[in-house]
C-alpha cells in the first residue's frame, strides 16, 4: 500500500515572515508520525526554510507562479493529483475565495489554515483557525460541508515541544533572562527598538537572547549591537531549539504571531507587540485573559513605553507567576494531532458530507 500523502501549499518571505510554513511544519510532523509522507509546494521561500524542511524529511516542490494566482491554483491542483494526495493544506492570506473554489472543483479534499476570515467565502472542506480570537461569525459565508476547527485546541506546535509537555517553570525573584523574538523576518527591525528600550530598564545583570529568523534582513546591524553589549546580548540564528530558549528565559518580548502559542505552552510571561494588523486581536485577547501584556503596535511604540511596561513585570514574581499559570492552561500542545486525526478518520470513513455543520470548539 502506498504511504498516505499530504500536500502543503505555503510560502515564506521577508514580507509575510515564516509563520505560515512553520505552523504547517507542525501539521506535517504529526502526519509523518502516523506514517505518512509530506510534500511542500512553495513559490517563495529562503535557503534557511528549505534546509529546515529537508531536515524534517519533507519533500519540496518549487512552483514558478504568482502566489494566490489562477496559475497557482492550477499547478497546486495538478500536483495534488499527481501525488494522489489524501489531503491538501493551504496556508496564506493570498488564497482567496476564487482560489479555494478552483481547488475544490479540481478534486482534492483540502484544509485552509486561517487567522481572521480574510477570504470572504470559504469552500475548503476544513477551516482551521488556531487563535484565541477565532469565532464562528468569521465564517458565516461558507459551504454547507465546511467544517470549522476553531480555537486553542487546534494550536499547531512542532514536534520539539512534545518533550516539554510536563515541564514546570520556576519563577525567578527578579527576571533577568529576557528572550526577544520578533518573528521570522522583522523587516522594520523592531528588534533593535526593543534592544534600545532594554537599556532604559536599569536592572543589573540582565541578559538577552535575541532570536533572528531566517528571513531577517537586519542581521548585520543586530550583530553589531550584540558585539557592543559586552556579552549581555546573544544572537541565535535559524533556531531549532526554541523550547530550550523559552525555558531559559524569565520573560519574553515577542511579536504577537504564532509564537504566542509556544510561549503559552511553556508558561513564559510575555510582553507582546503587534507587528501586523491581524496580530492585534491576539495580543489584546491574551492581555485581557491575563496570559500576557499587550505593549501596543510596533509601528508606534517608544523605547520609554516598552521599558516602562517591562520593568514592573521583571520586578514582580507574583505577576509573572499569575501570567504563567494563565498562559499554560490555554495550550495543551496536541492541536496538530487532533487535526491529523480528523483528516485521516474522514478519509478512512467517507468524504465529508454536504449536510455536516461541525464547529470544533
The full set of domain ranges for the chain reads: 5-157+333-360, 163-328
The residues of the chain scoring below 50 in pLDDT are 1, 352-361
- The CA distance from 251 to 138, in Å, is 33
Tell me yes or no: is domain 163-328 CATH 3.40.50.2000. yes
User: CA–CA separation, 250 vs 203, rounded Å?
Assistant: 14
- Predicted local confidence at residue 339, as pLDDT: 98
The CATH number of the structural domain formed by 5-157+333-360 is 3.40.50.11190
Residue 344: CB atoms within 10 A of its CB come to 18
At residue 320's C-alpha, the angle toward residues 195 and 233, to 5°, is: 25
Task: Give the pLDDT score at 1.
Answer: 34
End-to-end CA distance of the chain: 35
Give the pLDDT of residue 260: 96
Q: What's the pLDDT at 348?
A: 65
- Tell me the three cell numbers of residue 288: 485581557
Query: From the CB of residue 159, how many other CB atoms can be counted at a distance below 10 Å?
Result: 15
Of 45, 87, 143, nearest in space to 353 by CA: 143
Q: What share of the chain is helix, strand, coil (3-state, %, to 5)?
A: 40, 20, 40
The yes-or-no answer to whether 5-157+333-360 and 163-328 have a common fold is yes
pTM of the model: 0.91
Amino acid at each position: 500500500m502506498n504511504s498516505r500523502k499530504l500536500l502543503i501549499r505555503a510560502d515564506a518571505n521577508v514580507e509575510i515572515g515564516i509563520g505560515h510554513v512553520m505552523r504547517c511544519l507542525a501539521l506535517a510532523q504529526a502526519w509523518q508520525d502516523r506514517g505518512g509522507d509530506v510534500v511542500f509546494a512553495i513559490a517563495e521561500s529562503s535557503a534557511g526554510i528549505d534546509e529546515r524542511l529537508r531536515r524534517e524529511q519533507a519533500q519540496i516542490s518549487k512552483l514558478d507562479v504568482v502566489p494566490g494566482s489562477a496559475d497557482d491554483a492550477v499547478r497546486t491542483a495538478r500536483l495534488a493529483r499527481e501525488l494522489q494526495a489524501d489531503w491538501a493544506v493551504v496556508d496564506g492570506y493570498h488564497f482567496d475565495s476564487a482560489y479555494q473554489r478552483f481547488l475544490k472543483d479540481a478534486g482534492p479534499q483540502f484544509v485552509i489554515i486561517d487567522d481572521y476570515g480574510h477570504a470572504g467565502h470559504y469552500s475548503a472542506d476544513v477551516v482551521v483557525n488556531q487563535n484565541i480570537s477565532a469565532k464562528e461569525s468569521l465564517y458565516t459565508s461558507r459551504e454547507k460541508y465546511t467544517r470549522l476547527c476553531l480555537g486553542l485546541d487546534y494550536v499547531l506546535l512542532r514536534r520539539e515541544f512534545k518533550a516539554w509537555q510536563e515541564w514546570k517553570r520556576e519563577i525567578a525573584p527578579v527576571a533577568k533572562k529576557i528572550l526577544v523574538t520578533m518573528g521570522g523576518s522583522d523587516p522594520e527591525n523592531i528588534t533593535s527598538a526593543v534592544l534600545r528600550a532594554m537599556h532604559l530598564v536599569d536592572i543589573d545583570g540582565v541578559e538577552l537572547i535575541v532570536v533572528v529568523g531566517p528571513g531577517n534582513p537586519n542581521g548585520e546591524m543586530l550583530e553589531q549591537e550584540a558585539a557592543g553589549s559586552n556579552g549581555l546580548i546573544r544572537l541565535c540564528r535559524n533556531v531549532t531549539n526554541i523550547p530550550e530558549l523559552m525555558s531559559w528565559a524569565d520573560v519574553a518580548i515577542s511579536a504577537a504571531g504564532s509564537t504566542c502559542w509556544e510561549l503559552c505552552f511553556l508558561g513564559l510571561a510575555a510582553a507582546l507587540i503587534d507587528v501586523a494588523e491581524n496580530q492585534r486581536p491576539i495580543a489584546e485577547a491574551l492581555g485581557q485573559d491575563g496570559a500576557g501584556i499587550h505593549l501596543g503596535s510596533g509601528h508606534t511604540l517608544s523605547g520609554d513605553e516598552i521599558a516602562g511596561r517591562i520593568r514592573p513585570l521583571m520586578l514582580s514574581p507574583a505577576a509573572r507567576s499569575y501570567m504563567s499559570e494563565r498562559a499554560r492552561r490555554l495550550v495543551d500542545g496536541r492541536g496538530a494531532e487532533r487535526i491529523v486525526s480528523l483528516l485521516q478518520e474522514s478519509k478512512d470513513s467517507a468524504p465529508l458530507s454536504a449536510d455536516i455543520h461541525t464547529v470544533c470548539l
